[in-house]
Amino acid sequence: MGLFEEMLIAIQDFMERGGPVLWLIALLLFVLWSLMFERLWFLNSVHKKNTAAALAEWEKRNDKRSWHAHAIRQELISRVSLDLKSTMPIIEVLVVVCPLLGLLGTVTGMIEVFYVMAVTGGGDAKQMSGGVAKATIPTMAGMVGALSGIFSSNWLKSKTNREIELLEDHLTIQHA
């Protein structure tokens, strides 16, 4: 058996021990990281074009002093800002939901432990271990997913804010 097959079997065994809640956490993390990578791609490709278009639109203006010019500048910044921040609230919600799903796994696993205790009289530790695994593995997965998501989403948020500040600096206003 090859290394790849052994890894797949180990992952499948881990997912089965964690129960259905672990599959839900895995799906949530897949969506979370897909959105994060989409934001990285957006920052490195589409955002650069949007910024260049906003700068070109501002530079072709003759009037950069009036109240109307200030409003147009703010509109350009807002447009780019909205595009940059479009999926960040979804990412933040998914990060918050990760540990909650882990707690759901804890509850469902403990229900299984109590069921085994009720049926067997509490003396069969081997049967209870399956419920304990279903209680602890999703909790761990939810916490690991939340921690990685917090660090990554905070980095994305700071990168987004930095890009908006750079655009604000480049859209200069002429004072009277």
If one compares 85 and 176, the residue with the highest pLDDT of the two is 85
pLDDT of residue 102: 94
User: Average pLDDT for residues 33-50, to the nearest whole number?
Assistant: 96
Percent of the chain having pLDDT more than 70?
98
CA distances from 99 to 29, 30, 138, 142 (A): 11, 15, 9, 4
Please state, in angstroms and rounded to a whole number, the distance separating the CA atoms of residues 98 and 173.
44
Does the pTM surpass 0.75? The reply is yes
Q: Is 122 left (phi over 0), alpha (psi -120 to 50) or beta?
A: left
Hey, what are 24's tokens?
A: 């839900």
Confidence band for 44, pLDDT divided at 50, 70 and 90 = very high
User: Average pLDDT for residues 117-124, to the nearest whole number?
Assistant: 75
Residue 7 has pLDDT above 70, yes or no: yes
pLDDT of residue 121: 76
Alpha helices by DSSP H, 20-124: 20-44, 46-59, 67-84, 88-120
Please state, in angstroms and rounded to a whole number, the distance separating the CA atoms of residues 112 and 132.
8
Please state, in angstroms and rounded to a whole number, the distance separating the CA atoms of residues 54 and 170.
10
